[in-house]
Amino acid sequence: MMNTQKVQRKEKFIQFGEGGFLRGFADWMIQKMNKKTDFEGNVVVVQPIEQGMCDMLTAQNCNYTHIIRGAEGVEKTFVDVISRCVKPYEDFEAYLALAENPDARFIISNTTESGIVFRAEDKMTDAPPASFPAKLTLLMKRRFDLGLGGFILIPCELIDRNGDNLKKTVLQYADLWNLGADFAAWVEKENVFCNTLVDRINTGYPKGEALDLGYEDNMVNTSEFFHLWVIETDYDLEKELPFTAAGLNVIVTKDALERYRTRKVRILNGAHTSMVPYAMLSGLETVKDCIEDKKMNEFLTACLFEEIIPSLDMAKEELTAYAKDVLVRFSNPYIKHYLSSICLNSVSKFKVRVLPSILGYIKKYNKMPEHLLFSFAKLIEFYKKGTPNDAPEVMEYMKNATVAEILSNKELWGEDLSALIPEVEKYENSSL
Residues 264 and 247 in one domain: no
Whether 419 is covered by a domain: the verdict is: yes
Residues 250 and 268 in one domain: no
3-state SS of the chain? CCCCCCCCCEEEEEEECCCHHHHHCHHHHHHHHHHHCCCCEEEEEECCCCCCCHHHHHHCCCCEEEEEEECCEEEEEEECCEEEEECCCCCHHHHHHHHHCCCCCEEEECCCCCCCCCCCCCCCCCCCCCCHHHHHHHHHHHHHHCCCCCCEEEECCCCCCHHHHHHHHHHHHHHHCCCCHHHHHHHHHHCEECEEEEECCECCCCCCCCCCCCCCCCCCEEECCCCEEEEECCCCHHHCCCCCCCCCCEEEECCCHHHHHHHHHHHHHHHHHHHHHHHHHCCCCEHHHHHHCHHHHHHHHHHHHHHHHHHCCCCHHHHHHHHHHHHHHHCCCCCCCEHHHHCECHHHHHHHHCHHHHHHHHHHHCCCCHHHHHHHHHHHHHHHHCCCECCHHHHHHHHHCCHHHHHCCHHHHCCCCHHHHHHHHCCCCCCC
Residues 416 and 373 in one domain: yes
Whether 3 is covered by a domain: the verdict is: no
> What CATH number did the domain enclosing 362 receive?
1.10.1040.10
Buried b / exposed e along 414-424 (16+ C-beta atoms within 10 A) = eeebeebbebb
Whether 1 is covered by a domain: the verdict is: no
Question: What integer pLDDT is reported at residue 1 of this predicted model?
Answer: 61
pLDDT tens digits in sequence order for the chain, 432 residues long: 677 778 899 999 999 999 999 999 999 999 999 999 999 999 999 999 999 999 999 999 999 999 999 999 999 999 999 999 999 999 999 999 999 999 999 999 999 878 999 999 999 999 999 999 999 999 999 999 999 999 999 999 999 999 999 999 999 999 999 999 999 999 999 999 999 999 999 988 988 888 889 999 999 999 999 999 999 999 999 999 999 999 999 999 999 999 999 999 999 999 999 999 999 999 999 999 999 999 999 999 999 999 999 999 999 999 999 999 999 999 999 998 999 999 999 999 999 999 999 999 999 999 999 999 999 999 999 999 999 999 999 999 999 999 999 999 999 999 999 999 999 999 987 766
Residues 367 and 265 in one domain: yes
Residues 87 and 149 in one domain: yes
Question: What integer pLDDT is reported at residue 432 of this predicted model?
Answer: 65
Give the whole-angstrom CA distance, residue 303 versus residue 290.
Answer: 13
Question: What integer pLDDT is reported at residue 211 of this predicted model?
Answer: 85
Residues 277 and 190 in one domain: no
Query: Which of 201, 231, 255 represents a domain boundary (last residue)?
Result: 255
Question: What integer pLDDT is reported at residue 5 of this predicted model?
Answer: 79
Enclosing domain of residue 184: 10-255
